Amino acid sequence: MLLGCGPATVANPGASEASTSAGSSTGAGAMTSTTTGAADPTTSTGALDSGSTSAGQVDDDTGPPPPAGFLNQLDVSVSYTCDVWAENCPVGEKCMPVANDGGSSWNASECRPVVGSPDAIGELCSLTMGSGVDGYDTCEKHAMCWDVDPDTGEGTCVGMCVGTESTPTCLEPDSTCSISSSGVLNLCFPTCDPLGTDCVDGEACYPSYDGFVCAPVAPPEGGGGLAGACEYINACLSGLYCGQGGEFCEEGAYACCLPFCDLTEPDCPAPLDCIAVFESGEGPPGFDQVGFCSAG
């Protein structure tokens, strides 16, 4: 699906490589999105970039730098100074995804200090310095301050995935592991139903590696509507995803916001067809009927 960057690939239906910007935050950060396993969400300030190309996606290393948002579809170069899976930083520090090139996309991982009395997963948090892509926050080890409000400077601690990049999972129930930015960013987000309304206000249900996750809605000003051009997975309004719609998209758009559909009662606007997201029996329980409208 959309955020997938890992072994089995359920691609973002038709969008190019997804980089994601972490919602609205006091900083900007893009993360290449890759989801695998059972856990997923990250919203700091920046863009998510999907580190691998899944079905229907294309590599594209051209174009403008990703804005602050959730999913950026441009790939970025990556460097590592610590391992976000192994947490191999010195005592009192944690391995955090960062943007080390002055940009808005997470492209590296570096050790950052763990504050005294850190905030736990699910608790309010704040940045201690810099922006949402600098890695300095009040969350506990193996957690990240996500969806930071630029006005209050507060966000929520989101847990990172556990296991390995090839076999990731989440400790939190009903979560999916979203791996982005070529493996630099790995967060656990709540799972959701794209045909339902089970995300909190300000978030919508977007495709991920092997399911769907709730993520902040971050459309461009005045955009995000049906057929509107998009460059990020979460640049579309609730009920829509960023994919390839051919002539259905507004003129000049490579990808645009397209609707999800119910395979049992397909209602895609012409000339789009309702295509199954998962092969029969391969998707999460209860998701066999979920489809996406696509130009094919």
Give the predicted TM-score (pTM) of the model: 0.66
DSSP letter assigned to residue 126: E
Q: pLDDT 10s digit of each residue in the chain, 296 long?
A: 333 222 222 333 433 333 344 333 333 233 333 333 222 233 343 434 433 322 222 233 333 333 333 343 334 445 568 999 999 999 999 999 999 988 877 899 999 999 999 999 999 999 999 888 999 999 999 999 998 888 888 999 999 999 998 889 999 888 888 887 778 889 998 889 999 878 888 889 998 766 788 888 888 888 999 999 998 878 999 999 999 899 999 988 989 999 999 999 999 999 999 999 888 777 677 788 899 999 87
* Domain range summary for the chain, segments of one domain joined by +: 1-219
C-alpha distances (whole Å) from 279 to each of 1, 40, 251, 275, 276 are 12, 22, 32, 10, 7
**Cα separation of the two ends of the chain:** 15
What gap in Å lies between CA 13 and CA 65, rounded to an integer?
22
Rounded to whole angstroms, how far apart are CA atoms 122 and 280? 34
* Separation CA 236–CA 257 (nearest Å): 6
For residue range 68-82, what is the model confidence (pLDDT) as tens digits? 333 433 344 455 689
Q: Say how far residue 296 (Cα) sits from the centre of its chain.
A: 23
Summarised one tens digit per residue, pLDDT across range 176-218 is 888 877 788 899 988 899 998 788 888 899 987 667 888 888 8
